[in-house]
Structure 1
Amino acid sequence: MKPFIAADILLPAPQTDMGLWPALACDQFTSQPEYWQKAEALTQNAPSTLHITLPEAYLESPDVDGRIAAIHTAMADYRARVLTRGVHGFVYVERATQSGVRQGLVGAVDLEAYSYEKGSAPLVRPSENTIVERIPPRLAVRRGAPLETPHIMMLLDDAACGVVEPFAKKKAALEKLYDTELMLGGGHIAGWAVTDAADIAAVENAVAALGTQAAFDAKYPDAAGRPPLAVAVGDGNHSLATAKAHWEEIKAALPPAARQSHPARWCLVELVNIHSPALGIEPIHRAVFGVSMTELAGAFLSFAARHGAHACGMAGAQQTFCFVDETCAGPGTAERVECLKNAPWPLAVGTLDAFLTEFLAQRPGAKVDYIHGADNVRALARAGAVGVILPDFAKSDLFRGVVLGGVLPKKTFSMGHAEEKRYYLECRQIAPQTL
Structure 2
Amino acid sequence: MEELGLFLPEILLPREGIDLTKWAVIACDQYTSERDYWEKVKEFVGHSPSTLHMIFPECYLEEGNPGQRIKRIHSVMRQYLKEGILSPQPPGLILVDRKTRYSSRNGLLVAVDLEQYSYEKTTGGDAGAPLIRATEETILNRLPLRIKLRESALLDLPHLLLLINDPDERVIEPVARARERLPKLYDFDLMMESGRLTGYRVDDPRLLAGIAGGLKELAARAEKDGDRLLLIVGDGNHSLAAAKAV
The match for 1:240 is 240
Work out whether residues 175 and 207 of structure 2, in 8 Å CA contact, stay in contact via their aligned partners in 1.
no
What amino acid is aligned across from residue 106 of structure 1 in structure 2?
L
CA drift at 1:217: 5.1
Q: Matches of 1:79 and 1:111 in 2, distance apart?
A: 25
Structure 2 residue 147 is matched with structure 1 residue 153: no
Q: Matches of 1:78 and 1:200 in 2, distance apart?
A: 31
Structure 2 residue 20 is matched with structure 1 residue 12: no
What amino acid is aligned across from residue 216 of structure 1 in structure 2?
A
Out of 180, 184, 198, the position equivalent to 1:172 is: 180
The match for 1:310 is none
Structure 2 residue 96 is matched with structure 1 residue 90: no
Structure 2 residue 219 is matched with structure 1 residue 216: no
What SS is found at the alignment partner of 1:54?
coil
Give the share of equivalent positions with the same residue, in percent.
41
Out of 57, 72, 75, the position equivalent to 1:73 is: 75
The match for 1:55 is 57
Work out whether residues 6 and 200 of structure 1, in 8 Å CA contact, stay in contact via their aligned partners in 2.
no
Work out whether residues 114 and 122 of structure 1, in 8 Å CA contact, stay in contact via their aligned partners in 2.
yes
What SS is found at the alignment partner of 2:76?
helix
What amino acid is aligned across from residue 231 of structure 2 in structure 1?
V
Out of 119, 123, 127, the position equivalent to 2:122 is: 119
CA drift at 1:52: 0.7
What amino acid is aligned across from residue 37 of structure 2 in structure 1?
Y
CA drift at 1:245: 1.0
1:203-236 deviation per Cα after TM superposition (whole angstroms, max 9, x unaligned): 2342233223xx1155xxxxx33x4100000011
Out of 130, 134, 145, the position equivalent to 1:137 is: 145
The match for 2:194 is 186
**Equivalences for 1:27-426 in 2 at 5 Å?**
27-80=29-82, 81-119=84-122, 121-212=129-220, 215-216=221-222, 224-225=225-226, 227-246=227-246
Structure 1 gap ranges (5+): 219-223, 247-435
**Poorly superposed stretches of 4+, deviation over 4 Å:** none
How many pairs align?
238
CA drift at 1:201: 3.1
What amino acid is aligned across from residue 48 of structure 2 in structure 1?
A
CA drift at 1:33: 0.7
1:408-433 deviation per Cα after TM superposition (whole angstroms, max 9, x unaligned): xxxxxxxxxxxxxxxxxxxxxxxxxx
Work out whether residues 2 and 205 of structure 1, in 8 Å CA contact, stay in contact via their aligned partners in 2.
no
What amino acid is aligned across from residue 42 of structure 1 in structure 2?
F
The match for 2:126 is none
What SS is found at the alignment partner of 1:211?
helix
Q: Matches of 2:68 and 2:223 in 1, distance apart?
A: 50
CA drift at 1:101: 0.6
Work out whether residues 104 and 164 of structure 1, in 8 Å CA contact, stay in contact via their aligned partners in 2.
yes
1:226-271 deviation per Cα after TM superposition (whole angstroms, max 9, x unaligned): x41000000111111111111xxxxxxxxxxxxxxxxxxxxxxxxx
Work out whether residues 135 and 238 of structure 1, in 8 Å CA contact, stay in contact via their aligned partners in 2.
yes
Q: Matches of 1:126 and 1:119 in 2, distance apart?
A: 9
Structure 2 gap ranges (5+): 124-128
RMSD of aligned residue pairs (Cα, Å)? 1.5
Q: Matches of 2:207 and 2:223 in 1, distance apart?
A: 27
Q: Matches of 1:37 and 1:61 in 2, distance apart?
A: 14
What amino acid is aligned across from residue 187 of structure 1 in structure 2?
G
* Change in 2 beyond 3 A, CA 1:170/1:237: same
